Amino acid sequence: MDNDKKKASWRQPRFWLREILPYVALFLVISFAVDLWRSQDMPSGKVPSQQMTTVNGLDIDLAKMSQEQPVLVYFWATWCGACKFVTPTVNWLSDDHQVVSVAITSGDNARVKRYLAGHDLDFDAVNDERGVLASTWGIQATPTIVIINKGEITSITTGISTPPGLLARLWLS
């Protein structure tokens, strides 16, 4: 009889919740710790004053842009494997939110433009051909997403992010 109870218990949602919940909690703690470690060299507080120009010639002032609504700054690269999972979400968010992307060491402007067009990406990109912006911002991993609101950095996350996670960061900033 006890053996029958054990066999039946794995079919219950409570069993799976009890089995999976510790792993989910561990994953969240490790993810948070990795984000903290990777962002330790990144600026906090006021956004760094820096001249940025997109591959299409548009001048960007992050502090000024973020006065009306938060700005999502997306540090990525054409060679970044994890970016393939995050880029579609950032592209989707760019329809309703301010997005500034920074292509790190991804080639010249023509190559970045071809990449954007070839992947049907609607957001514009600043080309950080030599990694100078990435170095100034202390970027240690791609993708890295920074949320700026009213000239202040309010959130930094590295690695793969989900659409609900990015939306929450934008709404909470």
Task: Give the residue among 67, 117, 66, 72 at the shortest CA–CA distance from 90.
Answer: 72
Span 74-97, average pLDDT: 94
User: Mean pLDDT over all residues of the chain?
Assistant: 85
Contact 72, 173 (CB under 8 A): no
**27 pLDDT higher than 90:** no
**8 pLDDT higher than 80:** no
pLDDT reported for residue 44: 59
CA distance between the termini of the chain: 55
Q: What's the alpha-carbon Rg for the chain, to the nearest Å?
A: 20
Q: What percent of the chain has pLDDT over 70?
A: 83
**23 pLDDT higher than 80:** no
pLDDT reported for residue 51: 83
Lowest mean pLDDT among 6-15, 62-71, 73-82, 138-147: 6-15
Q: Measured between alpha carbons, how far is 98 from 107 in angstroms, rounded to an integer?
A: 24
pLDDT reported for residue 93: 94
